[in-house]
Amino acid sequence: MAVPLEEFITDFHVRLTWIAFFTLWVLWGLVYTIRFILGENNKPTPQADAEAGATTSEKKTWNQGGFVGRLRNAHQVLFENTLLLLSVLVLNTLATGSTRAVMILAWIFFAFTVVHAFTEIGVEHRFVRLAFTLVFYGVTLAIGGLAFAQGF
């Protein structure tokens, strides 16, 4: 039998789960802000596109070069992982699914995201991204699976 939502959201582990999400959200917002403090213009100029020989459809998100480009990559990691974590935590909360296991997985997800974001600033490598992506995908699948196994 499912736990009532009011009882579920007052659980200590659920609270810590959402604190992990909020902490990730704060970090994402911080990097987002730092990008603009450092002077990133987020809107490519037509002249820059012409010089690079790129059309609008050929613009790349990754490997933009320089520190600001690496910071942009870290921001992309934080942005995408914040949305990934949000989606499975909402699913788990609405399902009144797992509490302690999801809390642990959320903090693991947070820790790997922080490491990955800082790795993006220092190292640009596809295989590193692939390894982190597999971890994130596995953790989000586990949280989603727990939501269905112990909730609804």
Sign of CA dihedral 148, 27, 116, 19: negative
pTM: 0.77
Tell me whether residue 71 is in a domain.
yes
Structure tokens at 17: 């789960």
- Structure confidence at residue 62 (pLDDT): 47
Question: Is 7 part of a structural domain of the chain?
Answer: no
What is the three-class DSSP state of 73?
helix
Lowest mean pLDDT across 7-11, 19-23, 83-87:
7-11
More confident residue, 106 or 2: 106
Classify residue 80: in a domain, yes or no.
Answer: yes
Domain membership flag for residue 1: no
Q: What is the DSSP letter of 65?
A: -
pLDDT-derived band at 68, boundaries 50, 70, 90: confident
Domain region containing 124: 13-150
Burial class (CB in 10 A: 0-12, 13-18, 19+), 124: middle
Q: Specify if 101 maps to a domain.
A: yes
Residue range 2-14: average pLDDT?
A: 86
Number of domains making up the chain: 1
Whether residue 123 lies inside any domain: the answer is: yes
* pLDDT reading at 56 higher than 50: no
Could you tell me if residue 6 is inside a domain?
A: no
CATH number of the domain that residue 142 is part of: 1.20.120
The closest of 129, 127, 147, 38 to 81, measured between CA atoms, is 129
Residue 3 located in a structural domain: no
* Residue pLDDT, tens place only, 96-129: 989 999 999 999 999 999 999 999 988 878 899 9
Alpha helices in 10-151 (DSSP H): 12-37, 46-52, 66-95, 100-122, 126-150
Task: Write the CA distances from 128 to 16, 82, 88, 131, 134, integer angstroms.
Answer: 29, 19, 24, 5, 10
CA distances from 146 to 101, 106, 132, 139 (A): 8, 12, 21, 11
